[in-house]
A and B are shown apart, each in its own frame.
Chain A
Amino acid sequence: MNYVGLAGRDLLRNPLRLTLTILAGAVGVTAFIFLSTVVDLFYYNARAAQVDRLIVRNKVSFTQPLPLSYYARIAALPGVTSVTHQEWFGGTLGDTQKDFFANFAIDPHTFLDVFPEYLVPPQQLAAFRGDPCGALVGERLARRFGWKVGDRVTLKGQIYPGDWTFNVRGIYTGARPGVDTTALLFGYRCLNESDRLTEARKDQVGIYAVRVDDPARSAGVAAAIDHLFDNSPYPTKTESEKAFQLGFVAMSSAIVTAVRVVSSVILLIILLVIGNTLAMGVRERTRDIATLRAMGFRPRTVVALVLSESAVIGLCSAALGATAAPLLVGVFAKLIASRFGPMPDHLTRGHTLWVSALAAVMVALLAGVGPALRAVRLPVAEGLRKVA
């Protein structure tokens, strides 16, 4: 009998225990992947951020407006290739935030220059540009509410009182998987030229998004923009899109940390369960192991046998867990979608799956070290004498 056969026999010595251990490991791996995906969710926007984009916001806070007149002054700066502005509208479908989704007032003519990853068919884009109250709807959002081109959508303004009706002129898709297609974008003129807006609130925008010609110069361009408005009543803070998004993650860091801590606890639990099983197995096989050693097998062969056992358990758990995790993530995304807006497709990244599977196998191997050492440390004579 070769080593593989021997290891196989050892593994199948107690099939029930093996099954339970693998299941327990798989459950742990599933939970670990699930939590990693939740952490990913926080970084989702930051990951989609482009290096050549800057976000200009009011220095006081991003809820304070900036004047529309900054547009031309930013566009004229050297290194700036295009500028667009957007304003968080914060409308809801009903009276509550139960069906939350993001909605922005954007500049129809410059938006796609700065955000080329949003794809709109040319005719739809032309129709959108031609209608002051036209709207572009992300394909996932359109799917969620069954909206088609030509539909009328009425939002209740939270920040801008009243009912606002927009005509869906186009459905946009993402050029790559990371693009958020769950938002509604409508023309800024519809908002700004409405007679419901008081004089004091006209010609204000939320943020400017700026594209620079060379990402290496973006720090310089950002400094130039802030310098330009330093002594105005509306000073700005300009940072890369990534830094802007990471700012939100940083503010939620306590939660992200908590989730990471729980992830480590999970690895610890997998370690305990697998370690426990292996220790039992080794204890039961004390006499077999002593016999092997009495026959002249080297300690390292015995160690290898125990470790290969734990590696197989780890691999099986990882495979099972990685299969089950995306399902769990899907259920979770559905549960929180009503409050935080629809979640992007394919939340679980392949990268996360690989890293988690690898972590599981490593943890399993680690769990095997104790029992393996125990197996070889015992004097052969004592092992042979021992009953049960």
Chain B
Amino acid sequence: MVPLFYNARSLWARRLSTGLTVVGLGLVVFVFAAVLMLANGIESALASGGDPSNVVVLRKGATSELVSGMERDAVRILTTDPQVASGPDGTPLVSGERVVLLTLPSGRTQAMNTSARGISAESFAARPEVQLVSGRRPRPGTNEVVLGRSLVGTSPEATLGGELRFAQQRWPVVGVFAARGGAFESEVWADALRLGTAFGRDDFSSAVVRLRSPADVDAFVKRVEANPRFTLEARPEPTYWADQASGLAAFIRVLGLFVSFVFSLGAVLGAMITMYAQVATRVAELGMLRAVGFRRRSVLASVVVESAMLGTAGGVLGALGALATRWIHIRTLNFQTFAAVSFGFSPTPAILLGALLFGTAMGLLGGLLPALRASRLSILDALRA
């Protein structure tokens, strides 16, 4: 084997073209990793809005809470199920909720659709992951609202102590809550009855039911669908939120992987150009290696390894660049729910490892043909060059 040291030295000797190639490969890896992190960010933002013990009940056939509707009586019937968990005061944790869309003014883009959730007394108890960060809960029967953490500051009055205006009414903000980065953090929570009245709807859109344990979920779902007293369907809360994210995440993923694929073709060609040039300018050197006894396959391996080094360097650069995006937060429209959702780039070890491997693979592919040429040189011609 030709020592790796030799390859590292020879890359360093041609700093300019090595640097340009590494930067090119790095940019490709950057886009690849950033896209995966973004799709992962949306999925985790929406999918973490759900507790495995919770079930969302919607009208049969409704794909989201926004288009669903159910009678108040149905919510009452759900509370009689034996597997429903009880709150600290003994009331069953079934919460009828009304979800509406409102348009709040926002900074530079003039308006943003925001989900408002009308909550019942049990809404907080049924969702342990929702915790107040500051302020207090809205009092029942008033127009007081609490804001999800990622809404704070997105609209001029969206702060603790501010006052939102919609549906021709004033809604003072009395608290801010967090929900482990989930979709609830992009919502406004208000009293269900007040919100329903303001929007001229007196039914609920959905009910959240907390069960005693995640193991009861499947049986409960079946019971709801078999119950002849209503036409409702139940879905585990994490599944429900994952479905709400699927369109946007798929769009970003398809778009991103498309671009990464096309990009990587370009980058492989770039690496190939560099390596062909390396081989061409080093013909005499390579001939020397052969003359002192290195085998053809050693020369082949040496060139491939050198190219893989280029690729790995690009991979490291790109992955580091992508990691730097984790401080960026994105707020955009989810086409599926027509409401805004906030999310970030969330890196996982698998994505970073994938980025490194992607970079190395591009280097390997780019080095293959030049390496073949290098190994096929005849010693005599090479030394004469």
Contact = CB atoms under 8 A, between A and B. Distances in A.
Interface of A: 14, 16-17, 20-21, 23-24, 27-28, 30-31, 34-35, 38, 59-64, 90, 92, 95-97, 156-159, 161, 200, 233, 235, 247-248, 250-255, 258-259, 262, 265-266, 268-270, 272-273, 275-277, 279-280, 284, 328, 332, 335-336, 339-340, 388
Contacts of A332: 254-255, 258
B259 A262 contact: yes
Interface in B267-283: 267, 269-270, 272-274, 276-277, 280-281
Given A161-B59, A247-B110, A30 B262 contact: yes
A265 B61 contact: no
B251 A336 contact: yes
Interface in B93-112: 100-103, 109-112
Give the 9 A-B residue pairs with the shortest CB-CB distance, closest first.
A24-B269, A27-B266, A251-B333, A250-B109, A254-B332, A61-B101, A276-B20, A254-B330, A31-B262
B351 to A, nearest CB: 17
Given A30-B262, A339-B247, A253 B109 contact: yes
B199 interface: yes
Contact of A60 (B16, B63, B199): B199
B294 interface: no
Contact of B63 (A30, A96, A269): A96
Contact of A20 (B17, B262, B269): B269
Contacts of A250: 109-111
B269 A253 contact: no
Contact of B17 (A248, A262, A276): A276
A240 B255 CA distance: 31
A182 B67 CA distance: 22
Contacts of A336: 250-251, 254
Nearest to B30: A265
B267 A269 contact: yes
Interface residues of B, number: 65
B76 to A, nearest CB: 19
B62 A158 contact: yes
B331 interface: yes
B6 interface: no
B263 interface: yes
B228 to A, nearest CB: 16
A273 B332 contact: no
A23 B265 CA distance: 9
A273 B266 contact: yes
B109 A275 contact: no
A277 B273 contact: yes
A17 B259 contact: no
Give the interface centre of A233, A235, A258 by most chain B CB atoms within 10 Å: A258
A201 B280 CA distance: 77
Contacts of A161: 59-61, 69, 231
19 contacts: A17-B277, A31-B262, A31-B266, A59-B103, A95-B61, A156-B61, A158-B61, A247-B110, A251-B111, A258-B330, A265-B30, A272-B20, A272-B23, A276-B21, A276-B274, A279-B20, A336-B251, A339-B251, A388-B281
A61 B102 contact: yes
B12 interface: no
Interface in B38-79: 38, 59-63, 66-67, 69
A16 B276 contact: yes
Given A64-B101, A233-B200, A272-B23, 6 more contacts: A31-B266, A34-B258, A159-B67, A254-B330, A262-B31, A265-B31
Interface in B356-383: none
Contact of B166 (A60, A252, A276, A280): A60
B2 interface: no
B24 A27 contact: no
Given A253-B332, A339-B251, A279 B16 contact: yes
A23 B269 contact: yes
A359 to B, nearest CB: 15
A60 B103 contact: yes
A64 to B, nearest CB: 7
Contacts of B250: 336, 339
A34 B103 contact: no
B252 to A, nearest CB: 7
